[in-house]
């Protein structure tokens, strides 16, 4: 009886184990089938749908940045450069008289301070001179211009110079823009601060548009289209030549290369490329030879490096900064786009004969952008300058990757690897990217979204930081207190203004606040702008904010 009972128990245990094993196998099989169906569905997603998703992702990521602009106010050099125009506007209420004042001030600056004639004019006509609450327009203009200029230039390079189709090029550019605006080196100085963003972000945007036009001259077959592109590029050449010297040096290099290309490969278009080159070069020479530059240098305490040392150090800093800008977020976006890069390079009909030279050229161009500040003030790392260099680095990174993949995909003179090539590392990489395809892109984008939304420090990425400041009330409190300050500034009965430090401030608004010292340069700028005897922060706090 005991033996029968033991056998029955053993048999029962076996049946239970069999049932559990069957359920496990059923569940595992179900999961495998579901994953297979999901992978198959992901593989069938069209490039068009992926591009639409990238557009939505970019729009969602910058929306908080634009909404935060509702709480933006003028600050720092906005007061110094805008004072004369503000005085004219308050005295006359005439826009024309205000513009004439801005032109006179630009002439004075050209002779006594700096040669950047276009930037100086634009900074003088700061919108807040005419309507203090107009600061919400600044992020709209800066994001709109820079994102737009970057998109059209990048899309043209991918389609015309690297042979991509338009949809894949758009997908690449929208993911790049999403990535850039989340890891932007100095978001306040590149999005919200009118003076700083105008001098660098806006001028770089105009250069990107100009470069797109000049490049378009080389590729269009229509004479009328080439002519209007030339005319627009000539006008922009004069404007860009009067901007910051980092953009200007970059422009001189790239326009020279395009002109050489035109003379060698498309001689019938050379004259139309020469005209924008000459208009820009004339503006650039006018900029750097301005009397104000020498006068400023004679009183400026900053000492720059010699030309040779500035160039040599530029290569060093290019390495240092590109390493710091290649963080986990950037690497994952780059990985997400590798299958796209591979398909662009492999299917392209372009020749990819010189990957080493192209890579070296991109690095030299990037390095050259560090040279002006090293030569002028002996330093690199000016955050408002770094914004534009950072974007150029990401563009170079993506385009050089496409070029190398194009070289790998065309090594045997065809668009596909032969069996005899299967032992090479490039072949293995190509076959892996062919198989991974959309699945790799989708997985990496999903991982980026998790990192973006779940990172412990909510101020790590700009979109999340802006959203945090909007939802926790910091932005509203800051704006209310800023307007209380402004009410004191415009009160004619108050000539000595004591202000309280901000009790809250959005993390992205990381600018220098006024000091407890009425003789501080920023305090003096605000006092002069509003016609006060003095303005200073109360002694209770340093006023440095977050």
**Which of 2-6, 342-346, 381-385 has the highest mean predicted lDDT (pLDDT)?**
342-346
Please give the residue that has the higher pLDDT: either 377 or 344.
344
The total of other beta-carbon atoms located within 10 Å of residue 144's CB is: 13
pLDDT-derived band at 543, boundaries 50, 70, 90? very low
Interatomic CA distance for residues 212 and 70, integer angstroms = 32
Spatial neighbors of 299 by CB under 8 A, at least 6 apart, are none
Contact 252, 207 (CB under 8 A): no
pLDDT at 421: 53
CA distance 259 to 247: 18
Residue-wise pLDDT for 158-185, tens only, equals 999 999 999 999 999 999 999 999 999 9
Beta strand segments in 329-418, E: none
Residue 107 predicted with pLDDT over 90: yes
The model's confidence at residue 17, banded by pLDDT at 50, 70 and 90, is low
Q: Is 122 helix (H, G, I), strand (E, B) or coil?
A: helix
Alpha-carbon gap, residue 389 to 186, rounded angstroms: 12
> How confident is the model over 9-31, as a mean pLDDT?
65
* pLDDT tens profile 514-538: 999 999 999 999 999 999 999 999 9
3-state secondary structure of 534: strand
Q: How many CB atoms lie within 10 A of CB 471?
A: 10
Whole-angstrom CA distances from 349 to 409, 410, 510 are: 11, 9, 48
> Smallest Cα–Cα separation from 344: which of 171, 150, 208?
171
Please, which residues have CB within 8 angstroms of residue 178's CB and are 6 or more apart in sequence?
54, 57, 58, 61, 333
| Predicted model pTM | 0.90
Q: Is 381 helix (H, G, I), strand (E, B) or coil?
A: coil
pLDDT, one tens digit per residue, over 482-502 is: 999 999 999 999 999 999 999
Determine the angle formed by the axes of helices 245-265 and 223-241, rounding to 10 degrees.
Answer: 150
At residue 418 the predicted structure's pLDDT band, cuts being 50, 70 and 90, is very low
Distances (CA, A) of 130 to 87, 94, 124, 540: 10, 10, 11, 33
The helix-helix angle for 355-368 and 307-325 (nearest 10°) equals 110
Average pLDDT of the chain is 89
The answer for residues whose C-beta is within 8 angstroms of residue 277's C-beta and 6 or more apart is 237, 255, 256, 258, 259
- Which uninterrupted H or E stretch holds 537? strand 534-537
pLDDT band at 326 (very low <50, low <70, confident <90, very high): very high
Strand partners, 499: 537
pLDDT for the residue numbered 420: 47
Q: Give the integer Cα–Cα distance in Å for 94 and 88.
A: 8
C-alpha 72/C-alpha 464 separation (Å) is 17
Q: Which residues contact 500 (CB under 8 A, 6 or more apart)?
A: 481, 537, 538, 540, 541
Instruction: Name the 3-class secondary structure at 244.
Output: coil
Which residue in 150, 254, 249 sits closest to 202, CA to CA? 150
Q: What is the dihedral of CA 51, 53, 54, 59, to 10 degrees?
A: 130
Contact 229, 216 (CB under 8 A): yes
Q: Over range 194-205, report the average pLDDT.
A: 96
Q: Is the pLDDT of residue 469 over 70?
A: yes
Contact (CB, 8 A) for 341 and 398: yes
Inter-residue contact 439 to 42 (CB < 8 Å): yes
Please tell me the distance from the alpha carbon of residue 291 to that of residue 110, in angstroms, as a whole number: 7
- What does the CA dihedral 29, 31, 34, 36 come to, rounded to 10 degrees? -70
Please give the span between the terminal C-alpha atoms of the chain, in angstroms, as a whole number.
82
Which tokens in the block code for residue 333?
């976006």
């Amino acid at each position: 009886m005991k033996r029968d009972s033991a056998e029955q128990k053993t048999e029962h245990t076996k049946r239970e184990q069999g049932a559990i094993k069957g359920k496990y196998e059923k569940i595992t099989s179900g999961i495998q089938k579901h994953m297979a169906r999901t992978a198959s569905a992901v593989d069938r997603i069209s490039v068009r749908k992926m591009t639409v998703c990238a557009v939505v992702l970019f729009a969602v990521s910058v929306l908080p940045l634009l909404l935060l602009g509702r709480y933006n106010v003028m600050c720092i050099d906005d007061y110094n450069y805008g004072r004369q125009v503000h005085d004219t506007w308050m005295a006359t209420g005439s826009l024309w008289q205000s513009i004439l004042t801005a032109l006179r001030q630009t002439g004075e600056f050209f002779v006594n301070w700096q040669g950047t004639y276009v930037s100086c004019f634009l900074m003088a006509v700061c919108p807040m001179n005419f309507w203090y609450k107009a600061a919400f327009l600044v992020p709209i203009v800066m994001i709109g211009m820079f994102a737009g200029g970057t998109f059209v230039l990048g899309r043209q390079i991918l389609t015309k110079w690297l042979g991509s189709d338009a949809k894949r090029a758009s997908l690449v550019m929208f993911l790049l823009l999403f990535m850039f605006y989340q890891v932007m080196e100095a978001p306040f100085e590149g999005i919200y601060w009118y003076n700083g963003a105008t001098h660098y972000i806006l001028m770089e945007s105009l250069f990107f548009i100009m470069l797109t036009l000049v490049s378009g001259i080389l590729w269009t077959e229509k004479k009328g289209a080439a002519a209007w592109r030339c005319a627009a590029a000539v006008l922009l050449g004069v404007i860009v030549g009067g901007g910051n010297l980092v953009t200007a040096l970059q422009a001189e290099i790239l326009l020279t290369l395009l002109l050489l290309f035109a003379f060698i490969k498309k001689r019938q278009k050379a004259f139309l490329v020469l005209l924008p080159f000459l208009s820009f070069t004339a503006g650039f020479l006018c900029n750097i030879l301005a009397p104000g530059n020498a006068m400023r240098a004679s009183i400026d305490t900053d000492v720059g490096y010699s030309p040779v040392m500035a160039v040599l150090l530029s290569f060093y800093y290019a390495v240092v900064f590109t390493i710091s800008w290649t963080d986990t977020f950037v690497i994952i976006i780059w990985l997400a786009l590798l299958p796209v890069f591979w398909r662009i390079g492999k299917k392209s009909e372009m020749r990819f004969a010189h990957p080493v030279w192209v890579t070296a050229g991109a690095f030299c161009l990037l390095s050259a952008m560090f040279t002006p500040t090293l030569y002028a003030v002996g330093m690199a790392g000016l955050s408002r300058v770094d914004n534009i260099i950072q974007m150029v680095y990401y563009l170079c990174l993506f385009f050089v990757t496409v070029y190398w993949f194009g070289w790998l995909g065309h090594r045997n003179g065809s668009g596909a690897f032969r069996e005899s090539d299967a032992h090479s590392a490039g072949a293995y990489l190509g076959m892996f990217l062919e198989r991974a395809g959309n699945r790799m892109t989708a997985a990496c984008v999903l991982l980026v979204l998790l990192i973006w939304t779940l990172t412990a420090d909510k101020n790590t990425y700009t979109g999340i930081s802006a959203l945090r400041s909007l939802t926790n009330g910091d932005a509203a409190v800051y704006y209310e207190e800023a307007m209380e300050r402004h009410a004191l500034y415009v009160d004619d009965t108050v000539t000595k203004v004591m202000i309280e430090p901000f009790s809250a401030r959005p993390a992205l608004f990381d600018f220098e606040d006024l000091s407890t010292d009425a003789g501080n340069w920023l305090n003096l700028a605000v006092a002069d702008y509003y016609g006060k005897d003095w303005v200073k922060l109360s002694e209770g706090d340093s006023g440095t904010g977050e």
